[in-house]
Amino acid sequence: MLDLKLPNRFPALWYPLCLVLLSVPCVVQAGSVKAKVQAIIDKLPEDKEQKMQGFADAVQEYIEDVEWLEEDDRMPLELSIQLFLSESLSNVEDRYNCEFLISSSDVQYFDRRVRFPFEPTDLLVYSEQSVEPLTGVLNFYINMVLGSEMDKVRGMGGDIYYKRALNFGALGKFVRTEFSAGWTQRVELINRVFRKPFMRFREMKDYYFYGLYVLEEENNKKDARANFISALDIIEEVMETKGNLMEEPQQFLNSHYTEIVDLFKDYSHRDDVFKKLIKLDPDHRDIYEKHITDS
- Domain-by-domain residue ranges, the chain? 28-194, 198-289
Please report the pLDDT score of residue 19 as a whole number: 32
Give, for 161, the enclosing helix (H) or strand (E): helix 159-171
Mean pLDDT of 234-245: 80
Beta carbons within 8 Å of 292's beta carbon, 6+ residues apart: 270, 271, 274, 275
pLDDT of residue 17 exceeding 60: no
Name the residue with higher pLDDT: 97 or 6. 97
pLDDT in tens, 82-127: 999 999 999 999 999 999 999 998 999 999 999 999 999 999 999 9
Is the confidence at residue 11, as pLDDT, over 80?
no
Task: Specify the range with the lowest mean pLDDT, choosing from 29-38, 46-55, 74-83, 193-202.
Answer: 29-38
Percentage with pLDDT > 90 across the chain: 81
The pTM score is 0.87
Q: Residue 73: which of 31, 125, 27, 28 has the closest Cα?
A: 31
The phi, psi pair for 108, rounded to 5°, reads: -145, 150
Average pLDDT in the 260-288 region? 96
Above 60 in pLDDT, residue 18?
A: no
Confidence of residue 243 (pLDDT cuts 50, 70, 90): low
Half-sphere exposure of 11 (CA within 13 A, CB side): 9
